[in-house]
């Protein structure tokens, strides 16, 4: 047999094998990616159901607290930990190009409504019981018009870790939720990002930890985490 033909046949066989291996690796990676994304959506749905139950429980709790002393109420009575869990999961899915964006948007809408509900419940408790909760409303955009939003998110995460009682609510400004649009209208927050709404005033552009501390002197009244306190000694 012609050695040239043998060489060509061997090369083609090598190409076919290499192509097959590459295709198999690609298909496996794609399957694994879809599997883990779907698993994460299932986890978020479970968290969502837990949050809905917690919100109903909170509303019932508020009705009960109306019959009892405000000594039973604290600044951290509301805001279930599941809200933060859902926020972290949604942030991950947005940042990693979730394959089902409609599902992410649906969950974000629910998350925004739960945040607003928690915000209103906490304000009611503050009025009734003389509490002084500290709020930050953070408005961001995912439409490519906010170069500092990710950096602003890191600052707020750092503040939340330092001051566990600080109540930070994050909202996608462009999300189609009527309650959110009403909140934006009432607070007169413009579409300039990032935007922080603190003490009945909107602040636009990136705000560092030092900036927020200056804008929000009430932070000094909040307890710090043990780690933060030790670090400053």
Residues 116 and 145 in one domain: no
Residue 164: CATH number of its domain: 3.40.30.10
> Which pLDDT belongs to residue 198?
96
* Range list of H helices, the chain: 3-65, 81-95, 101-129, 149-162, 178-187, 209-215, 226-231
195-224 tens-digit pLDDT: 999 999 999 999 999 999 999 999 988 877
pTM (2 d.p.): 0.70
Identify whether 194 is preceded by a cis peptide bond (ω within 30 of 0). Answer: yes
* Interatomic CA distance for residues 8 and 3, integer angstroms: 9
Structural domain range at position 107: 1-133
What's the mean per-residue pLDDT of the chain?
Answer: 77
Residues 214 and 177 in one domain: yes
Residues 9 and 44 in one domain: yes
131-140 tens-digit pLDDT: 788 899 999 9
> Which pLDDT belongs to residue 4?
47
Counted domains in the chain:
2
* Interatomic CA distance for residues 155 and 210, integer angstroms: 10
**Chosen domain end from 116, 133, 150:** 133
**Chosen domain end from 133, 167, 189:** 133
């Amino acid at each position: 047999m012609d050695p040239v033909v043998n060489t060509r046949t061997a090369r083609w066989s090598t190409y076919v094998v290499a192509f097959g291996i590459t295709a198999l690796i690609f298909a496996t990676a794609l399957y694994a990616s879809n599997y883990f994304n779907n698993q994460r959506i299932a986890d978020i749905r479970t968290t969502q159901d837990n949050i809905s139950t917690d919100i109903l429980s909170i509303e019932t709790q508020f009705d009960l607290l109306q019959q009892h002393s405000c000594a039973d109420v604290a600044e951290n009575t509301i805001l279930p930990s599941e809200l933060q869990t859902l926020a972290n999961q949604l942030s991950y899915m947005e940042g990693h190009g979730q394959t089902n964006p409609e599902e992410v948007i649906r969950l974000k809408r629910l998350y925004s409504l739960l945040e607003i509900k928690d915000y209103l419940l906490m304000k009611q408790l503050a009025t009734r019981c003389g509490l002084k909760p500290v709020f930050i409303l953070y408005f961001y955009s995912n439409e490519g018009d906010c170069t500092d939003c990710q950096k602003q998110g890191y600052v707020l995460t750092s503040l939340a870790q330092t001051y566990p009682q600080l109540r930070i609510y994050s909202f996608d400004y462009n999300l189609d939720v009527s309650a959110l649009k009403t909140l934006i209208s009432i607070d007169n927050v413009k579409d300039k990002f990032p935007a922080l709404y603190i003490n009945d005033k909107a602040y636009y552009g990136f705000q560092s930890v030092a900036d927020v501390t200056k804008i929000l002197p009430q932070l000094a009244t909040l307890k710090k985490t043990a780690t933060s306190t030790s670090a400053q000694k």
